[in-house]
Amino acid sequence: MSNWGQETAPNEACGLWIPATNIQGTHDLWLVDNIAEDPLKSYKMDMVDVSQLMERHNITGPGEFYEQVIVWHTHPSGMVGPSKGDIDASMFNVKYMVMTIPSQEVVKYERVRW
């Protein structure tokens, strides 16, 4: 994630963290194209790419996605943690992770309904 973040800077990199299909208890990190209108300040994943990754990993429904997948992106600008825009754009019950590129600090967050 750090390498992709450095390579795509000053744009935000984004992708999915998915359980590996071949080794129990491990995960694969996938880079997905950032198709946001302003990739310097936000991210938006190509849903065709996301769907293909879900199919490749046999994740068949929203329940499995919520339980198994983490959506990740980077903040090359140095901001630690999710921005207000990240939180506003987040979906309920989806797990997220953001990495600050300069310091490589990682913050996980999830928007839940009470």
Provide the pLDDT for residue 15: 95
Provide the pLDDT for residue 113: 64
Helix (H, G, I), strand (E, B) or coil at 33: coil
The domains located in the chain, with CATH, are: 2-110 (3.40.140.10)
Query: What predicted TM-score, i.e. pTM, was given to this entire model?
Result: 0.87
- Residue 107: partners with Cβ closer than 8 Å, 6 or more residues away: 80, 81, 82, 97, 98, 100
pLDDT digits (tens, 9 = 90+) for 30-80: 999 999 999 999 999 998 999 898 888 888 877 777 788 899 999 998 889
Q: What is the mean pLDDT of the chain?
A: 88
